Structure 1
């Protein structure tokens, strides 16, 4: 009877625990509920000990599981260590406890000690490794599992495919895909979603789409994975279309899918998802605001993570006014919320507001973390105040790698490339281990300086680390060698890569184009397509430049067809490259047809078409286009005026050019630059209006720019104006005494007038100043061989 009464007491305690957890669910937190169940577990533990049932392995296993579910891994492990008799389920119970608490060291130790294993064992360890960032270790254990003769389950394959995606190991992913097909699991919900996610993370979107199509049914996980994959490969329009499809077919929209689509909106550029309000001239993020409305309609407006995603979306689009309104009305904020606001103001180059928000953050009891300081540092350097950024960095007791990278990025973005390289060396002296971002930034700075030796040193440092084959870093190396005219080294880096992504292909194509190897660039582009890579906007813009350089209209039209097929014709940069290609290939009417059909025209596209007409000697039409641009309300920029003024100069439209030039300041508030002055000087000079040239020369602020005087000297040569020519030449002698061109031009003007004594004087000046004339040369191509001859 004593045992029975004790048993009743335990049962009553358990029933009380259960009733409390159900009845008080609205008030009892999960932690309080777990503690209540844990206390009940201890009562059971005591009862088992008192009734001498500790040798009952089944009961003790269940007790270990109870401790594990309450989050008391230490108690579970202590109980396991004391067990007199263990079986495989005992190991599974404690292994599961360690894995759930992310105690991977103990988990792996237990795994190694197990006297026997089965599929569940392998699933537990592979899943734990995969979910905690040890993707390669998870894949190693999967191979060992297969070698041991164990057949993977749907859970195994889902975890392994997740690890493949995290490690960007598409080859292993394809192998797992084959195993899934063999086992008939490829259409399983878990495996199918994992397959889709793996291909998406590895940027093989075409494969992800095929998996998506083959799945018998879809859920919010399927659509969210597809959205993320499209977003990460910059296919933001398609990602947003996927969300609209998800909504249309009635898939339940949860907070995760909303966060994902907000990430799509955050990643898109202004041109993709905004309209211009003519009344106040402000940009409005239409799609992002629509999602914001959906968040409210679905009752998620108090969800902190979603609100942070909304803040991030507004901040990424520079709409800090909406971000502030949302922030001020949030029922709950976190350090992440503050960091997004600080980072947003930094993106807007407003370091004062960023610092103001950090002070508010501290005053409201939030402790700034590493991200906060990195964002403040980034705000300083993005505002151009690299010195303040450096001071903040130097005041950090132990700057993290993110801080080093933020300062490096600031130096690089502000074209302080030498300082960036020196900071990288300082990192090495302090034994700070660089990552892929560090290497990419410093390689960019070396490329910006044309510093080949420095780049080679970085390359050598890469060989010692684990990021040598990282695709992001490899792209930086390809770019460095390309910009330093070492295209063979770029090819070597590319050929050595174990796998490729579209960024590496783009870097290689751009490098070939930069080195005037445009035919090879086009061949590489075709090879990229053959490998199943989907071109990006950058791919198309680059290969179109190669078509322009080759003046190959047929190739350009082929690329145009592909652009339309892939849906990139609406992209501003691709559209501009297409217009440029048609114009440089002499098909101005083709350029106009494409331009006229564009639904959204920007300043960039207007500039390109005006420049194209100017290049092809159709100055009147270029001026008409400029006037139409103004009428549409599109704001011209410096480049617009260079294009239209050049058109006026080449077509002899002097008065039109002067009128447009004078409108720069008076009507558009733009200060003329040296390029604008040289266009007008050239235009007046060609027309023989030398007096007006002289009057303009006396007013211009950029008198120390040699281009101005070179243009003037060339104009004097046409009209044999000796006095003005002499003035222009003297200015050029002052600015660059060793340049032979002005001496040659002045001597040519004198010789055309038969003033041989003056020609002799100019040559005497050259001898006195030790200026040597650069030899000219002529070339002729005959049967694929190039023949050249030097001139005197």
Structure 2
């Protein structure tokens, strides 16, 4: 039986422990009494002292008491481990746990809970499996921690495994565990599992309803989330500020067209829309709740109703930094950086401390308004930026196509030991794509693998896009094939990559596999595959894709429409191109350019010029590509003076002529035999090192037999493009046409000395069995190579096409 004095001291300790906060001085006196009375070896009293010092946040004292105990029991170990866990010293807690010779469920629960709360979710999960392996039965406290860890890790497989054990040991009707399961499934994005758990709950509480609303909101089921709020009210479930804030967040996520559907709900949400939200809050008496008010401001801000958001802000009885941040963020989303900066100054003047969230909101405002310098200044105000801040500034530079600057900041981020996340990796991969930095992109890939980010669908899609745009299509395909889950973005990246690298068969194959794999083609999918049809001049296949576009309702998409115009024009069916162009409800400058260029490349220069003149009378303004199209039309139609007039008018439209515009004029003058004018034009142009211009000039000299000018152009090409066989062949043809055979031999000998090999010409025939390519060598021998590009071919259309793309004839 315990000594009466020991019991008295134990009761005093219990009273002190229950005080909030514990009275440290009083407990120190009691500790002294324990030592004075010779009770230091009393295990029970020592355990109470450890517990007391833990509650009063004096871990060092608790450790001293524990280390001085001559006899420890399992409660002693659990008490000191709990003390270390509560103080945040997880390493020491784990060391003590490993030293225990005997552990019970409390020991495991203490450490697992500390790990789950302390950012060590993976270790918490491993310890849970160790616990089960040792035959210790988990409790509802165990599952609450483990399921929380699964949700944070998005570990759906582990979460379902835990769910199975929950059912097996009969805790599936425990409300505490049910809410933990609900939270885990919503965090893992498995909304159907969450619904199944929720529907099976006999007595869901406000936590259950709030978690389920959050899950439905994340999955995009806004209307269902609002219906659930109505059901919560009808069932008499207590509605607290958290639930009201949750429904406000749901409303904030609703798209504009969804607002029209909200009044069809029943119950409390029967006529819920943006103008009745405040009445709902007043009804429940949450007007003075700051969290609810901030959610209300956020809802209006998310829908761009900044006047109403500011009105609510001005009526708040209590304003905190979150209120300011939400308002600043709202103006940031609208790209109104001036207003956001004004609010920041006002916030500081009123004595509110700006934090990282404030500056991230400011970053968003500056980036959206295109003021990257102000964004950089805001970023500089953050003393210790987190990964969210780094991502904001990286995204800003990437969106402004300042890819080099984005990569520079990424390096600085690494030097500051800030661990990148999936958003960081995706943004930097986008910058690598924009600059064609394959080597650096590979380094990012390697770093992503080490950080286990490569399995993330968002990052993997970025890798596919990066490798495709950098010309490493095999690596892109490898990454795509290894993706555990794929979205439409990754499919589009592969299709676009194949099309960009003229791998049209692969592009079509991937396109056809989208629907069987549960993916519906998007505007980007159709645009890429139509481009493949255009490059192959495959009219039957193009018409099949057009039919699919009509079926899926993308014919009104201006980007897709522009590619269809280009496809029909490249296939020689300019009338269908015009019919589609004329029927487009919305046209942009790309649509006009494609139609003008379509007329030009099909020899209808007059119509191209007429359409260009009509474009000038509309609200659509021409760009540099427009002038290339109309200058090409003038060149092909022999409208030389009109072309020069349009060239001279470019500056009136605020467009500076580029090398391509000079090329078009030189081609026009060359076709007309006005070589002296072309020479003067070449001598005055600022792009004297552009090989295309000299090749066009040389071609004109070959047509009109000008040896002097031809040699001048050829010598420039020998310097600029030494491995190109075309200038040697053209110059040789000029000399041969003039009977200068010694010069012909000299050019041929020069080709041999420099190791220049003439490119082979080829044509291809499109027939019912596929596509067959004919290669012709220098001696006139013909080699045939068959390639089946399409699985489905219209047997009524057989076309033979030359490799210059200009000649199309039916056979």
> If the length of structure 1 is used for normalisation, what is the TM-score?
0.71
Question: CA contact under 8 A between 1:339 and 1:372: conserved in structure 2?
Answer: yes
From the superposition, tell whether residues 550 and 477 of structure 1 become closer, same or farther in structure 2 (CA, over 3 Å).
closer
- Separation in structure 2 between the aligned mates of residue 99 and residue 459 of structure 1, nearest angstrom: 43
- Separation in structure 2 between the aligned mates of residue 411 and residue 755 of structure 1, nearest angstrom: 53
- Separation in structure 1 between the aligned mates of residue 495 and residue 548 of structure 2, nearest angstrom: 25
Question: CA contact under 8 A between 2:74 and 2:102: conserved in structure 1?
Answer: yes
Shift of 1:684: 4.0
Shift of 1:358: 0.3
Pairing 1:638–2:558 present? yes
Question: CA contact under 8 A between 1:645 and 1:679: conserved in structure 2?
Answer: yes
- Separation in structure 2 between the aligned mates of residue 640 and residue 594 of structure 1, nearest angstrom: 22
Shift of 1:355: 0.6
Shift of 1:191: 3.2
The equivalent of 1:261 in structure 2 is: 212
User: How is 1:74-93 mapped onto 2 (pairs within 5 angstroms)?
Assistant: 74-75=22-23, 78-79=26-27, 81-83=29-31, 84-85=33-34, 87-90=42-45, 92-93=47-48
Shift of 1:738: 6.6
Pairing 1:368–2:368 present? no
The equivalent of 1:308 in structure 2 is: 245
Identify which of 419, 425, 443 aligns with 2:380.
425
- Separation in structure 2 between the aligned mates of residue 779 and residue 342 of structure 1, nearest angstrom: 68
Identify which of 625, 639, 644 aligns with 1:721.
639
From the superposition, tell whether residues 230 and 657 of structure 1 become closer, same or farther in structure 2 (CA, over 3 Å).
farther
- Separation in structure 2 between the aligned mates of residue 708 and residue 484 of structure 1, nearest angstrom: 26
Question: CA contact under 8 A between 2:530 and 2:564: conserved in structure 1?
Answer: yes
Local SS of the residue matching 2:310: helix
Identify which of 321, 333, 337 aligns with 1:382.
333
Local SS of the residue matching 1:56: helix
Aligned length: 654
- Separation in structure 2 between the aligned mates of residue 152 and residue 324 of structure 1, nearest angstrom: 58
CA RMSD of aligned residues (A): 4.3
The equivalent of 1:523 in structure 2 is: 478
Shift of 1:152: 4.0
- Separation in structure 2 between the aligned mates of residue 433 and residue 749 of structure 1, nearest angstrom: 61
The equivalent of 2:346 in structure 1 is: 395
User: How is 1:239-638 mapped onto 2 (pairs within 5 angstroms)?
Assistant: 240-250=191-201, 252-269=203-220, 273=221, 285-300=222-237, 302-318=239-255, 322=273, 324-330=275-281, 331-333=284-286, 334-361=289-316, 365=317, 367-397=318-348, 398-427=353-382, 432-448=383-399, 449-452=401-404, 455-456=407-408, 459-460=411-412, 462-465=414-417, 467-468=418-419, 473=424, 483-492=434-443, 495=446, 499-501=451-453, 502-503=455-456, 507-525=462-480, 529=484, 535=485, 537=487, 541-542=489-490, 545-546=493-494, 549-550=497-498, 585-587=507-509, 590=512, 617=539, 618=541, 620=543, 628=551, 636-638=556-558
Question: CA contact under 8 A between 1:739 and 1:771: conserved in structure 2?
Answer: no
From the superposition, tell whether residues 221 and 487 of structure 1 become closer, same or farther in structure 2 (CA, over 3 Å).
farther
Q: Deviations over 1:566-585 (max 9, x none)?
A: xxxxxxxxxxxxxx999962
Identify which of 664, 667, 674 aligns with 1:745.
664
From the superposition, tell whether residues 547 and 180 of structure 1 become closer, same or farther in structure 2 (CA, over 3 Å).
farther
Local SS of the residue matching 2:273: helix
Shift of 1:709: 0.7
Structure 1: runs of 5+ lacking an equivalent:
1-52, 274-284, 530-534, 554-579, 781-786
Question: CA contact under 8 A between 2:623 and 2:655: conserved in structure 1?
Answer: no
Local SS of the residue matching 1:396: helix
Shift of 1:389: 0.6
- Separation in structure 2 between the aligned mates of residue 354 and residue 552 of structure 1, nearest angstrom: 46
Question: CA contact under 8 A between 1:158 and 1:190: conserved in structure 2?
Answer: yes
Point out the more displaced range, 294-303 or 651-660. Answer: 651-660
Shift of 1:337: 0.9
From the superposition, tell whether residues 629 and 751 of structure 1 become closer, same or farther in structure 2 (CA, over 3 Å).
same
Identify which of 684, 696, 702 aligns with 1:765.
684
Local SS of the residue matching 1:500: coil
- Separation in structure 1 between the aligned mates of residue 671 and residue 658 of structure 2, nearest angstrom: 22
Identify which of 596, 603, 621 aligns with 1:681.
596
- Separation in structure 2 between the aligned mates of residue 655 and residue 130 of structure 1, nearest angstrom: 77
Shift of 1:395: 3.2
- Separation in structure 1 between the aligned mates of residue 142 and residue 213 of structure 2, nearest angstrom: 26
> If the length of structure 2 is used for normalisation, what is the TM-score?
0.69
- Separation in structure 2 between the aligned mates of residue 737 and residue 445 of structure 1, nearest angstrom: 28
Point out the more displaced range, 116-125 or 211-220. Answer: 116-125
Shift of 1:205: 2.4
The equivalent of 1:200 in structure 2 is: 151
- Separation in structure 2 between the aligned mates of residue 345 and residue 779 of structure 1, nearest angstrom: 66
- Separation in structure 2 between the aligned mates of residue 552 and residue 710 of structure 1, nearest angstrom: 22
Question: CA contact under 8 A between 1:619 and 1:653: conserved in structure 2?
Answer: no
Local SS of the residue matching 1:185: coil
Shift of 1:708: 0.8
From the superposition, tell whether residues 746 and 691 of structure 1 become closer, same or farther in structure 2 (CA, over 3 Å).
closer
Question: CA contact under 8 A between 1:73 and 1:98: conserved in structure 2?
Answer: no
Shift of 1:715: 2.8
Shift of 1:375: 0.5
Structure 2: runs of 5+ lacking an equivalent:
35-39, 260-271, 693-719, 727-754, 760-811
From the superposition, tell whether residues 312 and 118 of structure 1 become closer, same or farther in structure 2 (CA, over 3 Å).
farther
Structure with larger Rg: 2
Pairing 1:110–2:30 present? no
- Separation in structure 1 between the aligned mates of residue 341 and residue 277 of structure 2, nearest angstrom: 32
The equivalent of 1:712 in structure 2 is: 630
